[in-house]
Structures are given as C-alpha cells and as structure tokens.
C-alpha cells in the first residue's frame, strides 16, 4: 500500500521535534549537531529569537492579503535587496523552483519585448540543479530527474562543467541566456573559479545574452559574501534566490537589472503567496542580520576555521576522505568511502550532514554557529571517520 505521504523521499529514521540554534532534538531526546541547516535554509539556526519575534509580531497582525494590494513588508524587503545588490527590481516567490521559472520566463520575455523572439535558448551545465518544475528539470537535464516526465520543455542545452569550447559552440542566434550556479550544491559542492565567472560575464556581454545566476543555495551569506558572485567582482542580469533568505520560512526571490526585467509588465507574471507579509517580515530580519559586514566577516572567520579543521581530517583519515571543496560555509568533503556510509556513521555520532552527487557530503552549518559548536562538529566528524574505518558504520 502506498504511504499516505507520497514516497518520493528516502527518509532517515529521524524525527526532530525541536530546534535550538545549531542543535536539533530528536523525539527520543537525543541532541544532534546540525551541519545541514535544512540544506542551507536555517541560515541563522533554529528558533532564532530575532526571527521568532519578527514572525510572531507579524502573525498577530496580518498573515495574508494579496498582490492586488500594496504590501509594505514586501516593499521593505525589496528595497533592502535592491540597496545591497546589483538588482534594480525584485519579484518574490515561495521556493527556488519558482525563482527558476520566473528567471527563465523573464529572460525569454526580455528578448521578445526587444523584437528578438527567436532568442529562447537557455544554456545550462551538467551536474547543475535548479529545482523540480518542468523548466527546472529541463535546465538541469539529468536523466535521474527527467526520466518519464517527457516531453521536456524545449530550448535547453547543456555544457560540461569547465568545457569552454563546448560553451562557445552552444551559443547561437537563438540563445537567450546562460544559467549557472556559482557554486554547484547538489552537484557536489563544485565552485566555479572567479576567473570563469568573469569569463562568462564577458562572453554574455560579447554575445548580447543574459547571465542568470542560481544563488538559491550559495547566496545569502553562505560563501562569506552576501552573494557568491561578489567574489568574482561581476554582476549578473538575473539572479535566483531562496533557501537562506527566509531562514526557514518559505521565501524565494528573483532579482534583476532594469534592462533584464524590461519585458515583465503588469499581468505577465504573478503569485498568490509570493511576497506574503509573514514571509517578508522574516526575510527583512534575515537580510538585516546577514547583510551586515560584521556578520559576513564572522562567517569568513568561521569558514577559515572549519576548512582548516576539515583539511586536517582529510590528512588523518585518507581512506575515508579525499578532499575538501567549496567556499565559505558551503563546504564539501569528497569521500573515498561511500558517502552514504559516512552519512550514516555521522548520524550515529549525532551529527547531521547532507549528501551530494560525486560522492560528497555537504557541510552547510547555520552561518551563526558558535566556534564551540564548530569544534564539536569537527570532533564528531573525526569520530565519524573512525567509525567508517573500523566498519562500525551505524
């Protein structure tokens, strides 16, 4: 009999009933140290008092109206995002997938409005992940996500990560945009070198096409800058955001330059919930905290400490771990042992990590994790590796 919850997930036998900062409490009372943060969502930890206050204050006043009316909380968050980034305008969504949908619609509409309706092509990259809608699975193009769901949305092509010649060859007069994650998340924590991101920006300018960045996972302070592309000193035309921006409340956004957004006039797009007062009240508080340079400086210091500790673990457990990769507090341990074994051994040490492709486990702690908890996480990873070595998996 099919379970009452559609069985599209292989769930771990863990039921968390409460969260406190970087800790999750299981129904049986065990405390787990959370180096996954709900896959880079709980950027400020669990039950963060500032976010609880922002949410409950708004919850007592007004939950929902409609985008038919002015929404001051949405306006305030849009202003903060525009002030802090390349963007001139913002549309709020409820997820990364919806941000992907709009980013693609916006790029096509941009050229349609410019009298170049033939420019519909989106060039994306192998190993990428952009969500689960038809556009998003067509963009990612992995067999695992598309199989059985055809016919796929046309207009997408794929280039291998780092294949410069292939990328040049893929661009023609029907191309609208290049879509890329500055740091691939699901694909195994693969950062695009700054030089390559600069090169992509130049290429898009030269060809007159748009650069869409998917910063759903790597944005909102995760790499130690508010957005990951800032490290390369470039600006995208369109950017997808979600995950960390709501700190655990469902919220996403598409940020765009005025030019890129020029086709999106009244009536061309909408959302019932997108930019709802509850989500935006929380998002505004998240932005205030994360966009603060002092906070980002601390993220970089913590990232340096975690990375150094992980390098040490790779050196001391060469049969379990192969290398550390990533940027800021978006780090991956490429494993030699099967990553599923490492994940299970970490559970046994009451440590939460997240698997990724390419036999990687991801470490995506809350950005405000204390140094003490980071040291504890390293100690538990050390014990995890010892478990794997001794075959005492779980």
Ligand X SMILES: *Cc1c(COP(=O)(O)O)cnc(C)c1O
> Interface with ligand X by CB under 6 A: which residues?
95-97, 100, 129-131, 181, 185-186, 214, 216-217, 242-243
Asked if residue 246 belongs to a known ligand binding site, the reply is no
Asked if residue 217 belongs to a known ligand binding site, the reply is yes
| CB of 178 or CB of 378, closer to ligand X | 178
Asked if residue 26 belongs to a known ligand binding site, the reply is no
Asked if residue 319 belongs to a known ligand binding site, the reply is no
**Closest approach of ligand X to the CB of residue 208, in Å:** 26
| CB of 220 or CB of 388, closer to ligand X | 220
Asked if residue 97 belongs to a known ligand binding site, the reply is yes
Backbone phi, then psi, for 182, in 5-degree steps?
Answer: -60, -35
- Pull the structure tokens for residue 86: 């390349």
Asked if residue 143 belongs to a known ligand binding site, the reply is no
**Closest approach of ligand X to the CB of residue 43, in Å:** 13
**Closest approach of ligand X to the CB of residue 271, in Å:** 13
Cβ neighbourhood burial of 199 (10 Å; 0-12, 13-18, 19+): middle
| CB of 19 or CB of 131, closer to ligand X | 131
**Closest approach of ligand X to the CB of residue 70, in Å:** 26
**Closest approach of ligand X to the CB of residue 371, in Å:** 27
| CB of 23 or CB of 247, closer to ligand X | 247
Residues annotated within the binding site for pyridoxal 5'-phosphate are: 96-97, 129, 214-217, 272
Enumerate the known binding-site residues for N(2)-acetyl-L-ornithine. 132, 271
**Known binding-site positions:** 96-97, 129, 132, 214-217, 271-272
């Amino acid at each position: 009999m099919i379970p009452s919850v559609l069985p599209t997930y292989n769930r771990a036998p863990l039921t968390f009933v409460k969260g406190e900062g970087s800790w999750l409490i299981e129904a049986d009372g065990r405390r787990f140290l959370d180096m996954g943060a709900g896959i880079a969502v709980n950027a400020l930890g669990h039950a963060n008092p500032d976010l609880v206050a922002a949410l409950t204050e708004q919850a007592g006043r007004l939950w929902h109206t409609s985008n038919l009316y002015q929404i001051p909380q949405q306006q305030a968050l849009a202003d903060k995002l525009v002030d802090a980034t390349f963007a001139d305008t913002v549309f709020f969504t409820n997820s990364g997938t919806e941000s992907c949908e709009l980013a693609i619609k916006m790029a096509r509409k941009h050229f349609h409005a410019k009298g170049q309706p033939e420019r519909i092509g989106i060039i994306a990259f192998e190993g990428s992940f952009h969500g689960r809608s038809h556009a998003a699975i067509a963009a990612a193009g992995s067999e695992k996500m598309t199989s059985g769901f055809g016919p796929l949305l046309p207009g997408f092509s794929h280039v291998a990560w780092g294949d410069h010649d292939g990328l040049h060859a893929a661009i023609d007069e029907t191309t609208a945009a290049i879509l890329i994650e500055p740091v691939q998340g699901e694909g195994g924590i693969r950062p695009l070198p700054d030089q390559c991101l600069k090169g992509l920006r130049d290429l898009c300018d030269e060809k007159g096409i748009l650069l869409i960045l998917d910063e759903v996972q790597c944005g909102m302070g995760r790499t130690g800058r508010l957005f990951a592309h800032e490290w390369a000193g470039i600006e995208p035309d369109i950017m997808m955001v979600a995950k960390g921006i709501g700190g655990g409340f469902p919220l996403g956004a598409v940020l765009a330059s005025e030019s890129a957004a020029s086709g999106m006039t009244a009536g061309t797009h909408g959302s019932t919930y997108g930019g709802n007062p509850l989500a935006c009240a929380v998002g505004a508080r998240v932005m205030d905290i994360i966009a603060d340079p002092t906070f980002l400086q601390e993220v970089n210091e913590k990232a340096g400490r975690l990375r150094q500790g992980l390098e040490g673990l790779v050196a001391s457990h060469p049969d379990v771990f192969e290398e550390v990769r990533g940027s800021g507090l978006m780090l991956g341990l490429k494993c030699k042992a099967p990553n599923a074994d490492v994940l299970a051994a970490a559970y046994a040490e009451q440590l939460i990590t997240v698997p990724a492709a390419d036999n990687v486990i991801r470490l995506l702690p809350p950005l405000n994790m204390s140094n003490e908890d980071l040291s504890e996480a390293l100690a538990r990873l050390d014990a995890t590796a010892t478990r794997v070595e001794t075959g005492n998996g779980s």
